Amino acid sequence: MKKILISMALGFALTVSAGNAQAVSIGFDENGAGTFQNIDLWTYRTDTGLATGFIPGQFVPTPNPPYGIDFTLQGRVGSFDNGGIPVIFPGIVLNTKELTFVTKFDETVVSQGFNSAGHQIATFSAGEDINSIFKMYIDTTPDANPNNVSGYTDGLEILSGHLAGLTSSFEAQVPGTLGTGSFDVKFIVDSFDSNYFNLTTDLLLFRLTTTGTLNQPEFFHPTVMWDGTSTEAGVNPQTFKFDGSTGFEVVPEPSTILLLGAGLLGLGVFARRKKA
C-alpha cells in the first residue's frame, strides 16, 4: 500500500474564504492499480447517523444552548458522477466490492426553539477538529450491514481526514418525533492511498464537502454504531436516516504561500547584499 501524508498548518483551511475554494475532479481506481477515472461527486446509499446529547422538544430550562453533542455516522458509497455523467465502476456496481466510510466528531447546538408554524427548529455548528475521525475503506467482500452494523471498517483503509467545519439545521413538524435536517460538512484529507486516489496537493488543501439530509424516523436502527457506541444508552441518543453526497474542492494554503513569499523575499535581500 502506498499512502501519502498531506502536511499542513492546522487551522488554515477555515481562514480561506469559501469563494477561494475550487471544485475539482479527482481520480479513483477501485482496483488500486493506479488507473484512474475522474469523478467530481459520489453519492451515499441510505444509512445511519447517531446524535448523542441532543434533546429535541425540551428547551426550557434545560438544555440551554449552546451545548455540545457527539455525532457518529456510517455509510456506503453507491454511485459516482463526473460533470453530471455517471461513472461506472464494475466491481462496485456488481457488488463484488464496496466503498464504505465512517466518521465521528463533536458539534455545538447553537440555538433551538420553535418557528412561527410551531415546528421544532435547531441549528448546529463546529470548527476544525484534529481529533475527529473520517475514514474510507474499500473491501472485496461487500458485507457492510446497516441492520447489525458489521462490515464497515473491515476493508483496506484508503483515505483518512478530520473535520474542517460544519453548519446544519433541523426542523420537526412534530417536536421530538419527526424531522428533517440539512447539513454542510467539510473534511480535510490528511492521508490517502495513491493506488486508489489521484489527488493534487501542491500548495493546496484538499477538502471533501458533504451535503445532504438527516431524517427521522430512522431507516435503520442498529443496536450499536461502527465504533461500538450504543444507540440505546447514553444521553438521549437520536438515530437518523442519512442520505447525502460528497464533492471535492481545493483551497490555497496560506501558510505555504506565506513561506514561499518569505523565501523569495529572503533571496531578494541576499542578492542585494551580495551586490553591495
* pLDDT at res. 118: 85
- The lowest-confidence range among 7-21, 114-128, 141-155 is 7-21
Q: How many domains does the chain have?
A: 1
Please say if the pLDDT value at position 93 is more than 60.
yes
Banded model confidence at residue 11, pLDDT cuts 50, 70, 90 = very low
In a domain, 147, yes or no: yes
Q: Residues 17-35: pLDDT tens digits? A: 344 788 999 999 999 999 9
For the whole model, what pTM was predicted? 0.85
Range of the domain at 67: 20-275
Three-state SS sequence of the chain: CCEEECCCCCCHHHHCCHHHCEECCEEECCCCCCCCEEECEEEECCEEEEEECCCCCCCCCCCCCCEEEEEEEEEEEEEEEECCEECCCHHHHCCCCEEEEEEEEEEEEEEEEECCCCCEEEEEEECCEEEEEEEEEEECCCCCECCCCECCCCCEEEEEEEEEEEEEEEEEEECCCEEEEEEEEEEEEEEEECCCEECCCCCEEEEEEEEEEEEECCCCCCCECCCCCECCCCCCCEEEEEEEEEEEEEEECHHHHHHHHHHHHHHHHHHHHHHC
Are 66 and 109 in contact by the 8 Å Cβ rule? The answer is yes
**Which residues make Cβ contacts (< 8 Å) with residue 140, sequence separation at least 6?**
91, 96, 97, 155
| 15 occurs within a structural domain | no
Give domain status of residue 78, yes or no. Answer: yes
Three cell numbers, residue 101: 466510510
Q: Quick one: pLDDT at residue 207?
A: 93
Residue 10 lies in a domain: no
Is 173 inside any structural domain? yes
Q: Is the pLDDT of residue 248 over 80?
A: yes
The answer as to whether 218 is a domain residue is yes
Domain membership flag for residue 5: no
Q: How confident is the model at residue 61 (pLDDT cuts 50, 70, 90)?
A: very low
Q: Counting every residue, how long is the chain?
A: 276
126 CB-near residues (< 8 Å, 6+ apart): 105, 106, 107, 108, 163, 165, 166
Residue 13 lies in a domain: no
pLDDT digits (tens, 9 = 90+) for 165-188: 999 998 988 766 668 889 999 999
